[in-house]
Structure 1
């Protein structure tokens, strides 16, 4: 089900920046040639609205189709009229597992389209930077704006991996102190999250690397995109380190469970070994033979109890010296 659509048309120069929320695709054809233009969609447009945008922009039909395809894998494709990017970003939902959303970018010589699957706008900080004229964004062309948008996509990955690292630290303590079923469940959930991140982050490195050869990226801005690519590579390395640590924790969990099982079996074995001789004695004198002289002894009952107690004490002392308990 598609989420409600929110759209914004942002245009700015070094001197001014403005945002329009109420506009039609046809209005975009009359855009001024001087400012940088950024159209941001939060939620996929419906078929009728997207058809109108396709008619106005006149971009490659495959590009326009992939832009609103939530199942599209991360990729970069360069056309004569535009550069198309498809990536996955993290949806921030407190208290739930990691979820991904589809985000597409279309870069031309004078505008950027950003199409987000969810209504949650993750580019608010970029607009604030433009609106408040912080940094150099207002003094740079449209490809620098794309760099800021891609940076905003990569940033939540670092936050998610940091949270997983904290969670892993807690698991390391728990698996040693109390390796119960809840620890294993948490480890498996963490492994699922890492798998989700890996499927999105690995191809994103390729997307960012491919942008360096695009003629839509000006040479003076290539270091910025390399910086984002390096961030993605560092995040990937941290994620792989987490996977290795998680494998070690799972091995430690199995070892701890096996050790606890061995301790339980050792205690049961000690009790079984102790009760075996006294059970034999009780069974021997519990037989109903008529000719058993010991059963007629006046203090026979107490003597047998004493023998049993002596056996128990001697076996406990012997096992203690052997280090069996």
Structure 2
């Protein structure tokens, strides 16, 4: 069911009746939250030609577009906090109102949060939308900090020698960072379109609010880029640990080969069984070869330890 809020010093919910909507249109700026079915039959949207827009049913990214007498755009909010799934909705900004088209309750929760926590002495649709944008990123720094903690935990695991499922874990973190990075770039584009103020909907103070939002988004984007660089460094540390482990294995194999290579030579030499080898018929021949082999092994081990190969 549609929700209507009047924009005063604090948002005020109005009765969701057609006459209330008309009253809001004539007397005070308003916020309307509609479902897609309600938007299809909304007289105000039809009057301003909104329904003539040819937009796809699915929403893929955040954007803002300038049309004849309104601004149209979409939002795709990545999963964060208690929201385990992404949220998507449309919006249209007119001179006297903002209409959200949402088939869930995400927009309503944001609007109610603004109503309960923000009071402005100079209300307007521009200030409300700036507050709305700020509410969208209010918890993002905590989300980025959580990703940073996950990467730091992976770093501790790598340095401690625990490398199980590392690639799966680090790729999951990098995927989240990439989603947030694209999200902030798209929000920055929306802010730039709003600051152009092609229709003159916003006053100078509201444009400054959009500029401040753009700066916050820019700092969040920089944080996301630093996290991406951090994750790349951890992958390099992981690869170096893999290389160190492989080098240790190759070192052990080389030492073992070095120790037993003389024994292989002796075995090959006496395995020829030439009749001119007196040792083959000597009473102490087997014992002599055994002691010689043992002495060679001990000598090789001592040499390896002296060279710190073992």
Instruction: Give the TM bin, normalised by the shorter chain.
Output: 0.7 to 0.9
Q: What's the TM-score once normalised by structure 2's chain length?
A: 0.84
Cα distance between partner residues in 2 of 1:308 and 1:126: 85
| Secondary structure, counterpart of 1:113 in structure 2 | strand
Structure 1 position 39 matched with structure 2 position 32: yes
Distance 1:55 1:217, change over 3 A: closer
1:159 is aligned to 142
Distance 1:56 1:25, change over 3 A: farther
Cα distance between partner residues in 2 of 1:11 and 1:95: 27
* Match of residue 115, structure 1, among 84, 88, 101: 101
How many equivalent residue pairs?
308
Conserved? CA contact 2:10–2:120, under 8 Å: no
Distance 1:12 1:53, change over 3 A: same
2:163 is aligned to 180
How far has the Cα of 1:265 moved from its partner? 0.7
How far has the Cα of 1:35 moved from its partner? 3.8
Q: How does 1:1-325 map to 2 (within 5 A)?
A: 7-11=2-6, 13-14=8-9, 17-18=12-13, 20=15, 23=16, 28-31=21-24, 33-41=26-34, 45-46=36-37, 49-53=38-42, 56-61=45-50, 64-66=53-55, 69-71=57-59, 73-92=61-80, 100-116=86-102, 119-121=104-106, 123-130=108-115, 132=116, 134-137=117-120, 140-178=123-161, 180=163, 182-214=165-197, 215-325=200-310
Conserved? CA contact 2:29–2:97, under 8 Å: yes
How far has the Cα of 1:291 moved from its partner? 4.6
How far has the Cα of 1:219 moved from its partner? 1.3
**Is 288-297 or 188-197 further displaced after alignment?**
288-297
How far has the Cα of 1:91 moved from its partner? 2.9
Conserved? CA contact 1:208–1:228, under 8 Å: yes
1:3 is aligned to none
Conserved? CA contact 1:76–1:83, under 8 Å: yes
Segments of 5+ residues of structure 1 without an aligned counterpart are 1-5
| Secondary structure, counterpart of 1:312 in structure 2 | helix
Q: What's the TM-score once normalised by structure 1's chain length?
A: 0.81
Distance 1:322 1:202, change over 3 A: same
Cα distance between partner residues in 1 of 2:70 and 2:83: 39
Conserved? CA contact 2:188–2:217, under 8 Å: yes
How far has the Cα of 1:308 moved from its partner? 1.4
Conserved? CA contact 1:87–1:200, under 8 Å: no
Cα distance between partner residues in 1 of 2:292 and 2:43: 98
How far has the Cα of 1:114 moved from its partner? 2.0
How far has the Cα of 1:322 moved from its partner? 2.1
Distance 1:303 1:270, change over 3 A: same
Cα distance between partner residues in 2 of 1:16 and 1:186: 43
